[in-house]
């Protein structure tokens, strides 16, 4: 049996909260039962054409920046979106895998409106760009953005790994406490609150990280292989996080610390 497939009939006229549409919630339901589920003021069947299948895998065909909270709170299974998503995708994700073959809005993998913590497990892969505060207050898991990301990526991060293969906005890693932020665009100087550190030992950690990321996104794995700099911080928080940066201008040895 194939995946459950929800095909978007037309772009929605207003933002829709799709948190209810995740593999565990659809398990054992027929196409008619799924179509009768509600998304605020509308039924699922008003927005999507529904094809039943194995709910361990859910496919959303078609996307829109007005589809909010896609995969929010998901605990298991696989959710594939063939298009863009809006804000709060994978907010509070605890397990499973979300792949977005398009762009994502603000707070990707961040904290849900009723929570103080971001995603705490699972894997998120965005093939396009992401908005502001991707990985906001993330506790655990892997989040990869193959395109660009907005300001404050990995802001308030507690643990886990965030990789941005393209350009990143202002203040990456702001108030980061622990965890790893990988930046695939060459940069020269660390952001405020970070100091220059040494790349660890014989490179074993980077090889292991490259292998783990390559299994999800070959592009992210290639970024790890190109890492040249390591920045430590944010010193305004606990200060045990790290930003790994590819390329860029060499930093003189006398400026190195950490």
Average pLDDT score over the chain: 93
Whole-model pTM: value is 0.94
| Whole-Å CA distances, 202 to 15, 207, 251 | 49, 10, 20
The number of CA neighbours under 13 Å toward the Cβ of 19 is 14
Each residue of 207-255: pLDDT tens digit? 999 999 999 999 999 999 999 999 999 999 999 999 999 975 433 333 3
Q: How far apart are CA 76 and CA 78, in angstroms?
A: 7
Residue 97: band (very low, low, confident or very high) from pLDDT cuts 50, 70, 90: very high
Each residue of 100-148: pLDDT tens digit? 999 999 999 999 888 889 999 999 999 999 999 999 999 999 999 999 9
Q: How far apart are CA 202 and CA 194, in angstroms?
A: 23
Q: Average pLDDT of 168-183? A: 97
Instruction: From 206, 257, 255, select the one nearest 228 (Cα to Cα).
Output: 206
Q: How far apart are CA 52 and CA 30, in angstroms?
A: 6
pLDDT at residue 150, as a whole number: 97
Each residue of 46-80: pLDDT tens digit? 999 999 999 899 999 999 999 999 999 999 999 99
Helix (H), strand (E) at residue 233: strand 227-233
Domain ranges for the chain: 60-255
How many helices, marked H, and strands, marked E, lie in the chain?
5, 16
Q: How far apart are CA 135 and CA 118, in angstroms?
A: 7
Residue 181: band (very low, low, confident or very high) from pLDDT cuts 50, 70, 90: very high
């Amino acid at each position: 049996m194939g995946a459950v497939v929800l095909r978007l009939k037309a772009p929605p006229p207003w933002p829709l909260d799709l948190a209810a549409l995740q593999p565990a919630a659809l398990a054992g339901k027929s196409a008619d039962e799924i179509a009768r589920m509600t998304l605020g003021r509308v039924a699922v069947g008003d927005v999507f054409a529904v094809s039943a299948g194995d709910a361990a895998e859910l496919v959303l065909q078609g996307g829109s920046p007005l589809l909010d909270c896609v995969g929010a709170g998901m605990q298991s299974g696989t959710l594939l979106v063939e298009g863009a998503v809006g804000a709060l995708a994978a907010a509070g994700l605890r397990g499973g895998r979300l792949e977005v073959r398009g762009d994502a809005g603000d707070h990707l993998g961040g904290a849900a409106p009723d929570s103080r913590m971001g995603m705490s497990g699972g894997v998120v892969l965005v093939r396009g760009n992401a908005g502001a505060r991707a990985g906001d207050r993330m506790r655990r898991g892997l989040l990869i953005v193959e395109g660009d990301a907005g300001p404050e990526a990995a802001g308030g991060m507690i643990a886990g790994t965030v990789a941005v293969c393209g350009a990143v906005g202002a203040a990456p890693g702001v108030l980061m406490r622990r965890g790893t932020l990988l930046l695939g665009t060459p940069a020269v100087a660390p952001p405020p609150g970070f100091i220059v550190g040494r790349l660890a030992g014989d490179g074993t950690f980077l090889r292991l990280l490259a292998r783990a990321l390559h299994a999800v996104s070959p592009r992210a794995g290639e970024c790890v292989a190109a890492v040249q700099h390591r920045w430590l911080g944010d010193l305004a928080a606990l200060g045990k996080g790290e930003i790994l940066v590819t390329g860029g201008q060499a930093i003189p040895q006398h400026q190195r610390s950490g």
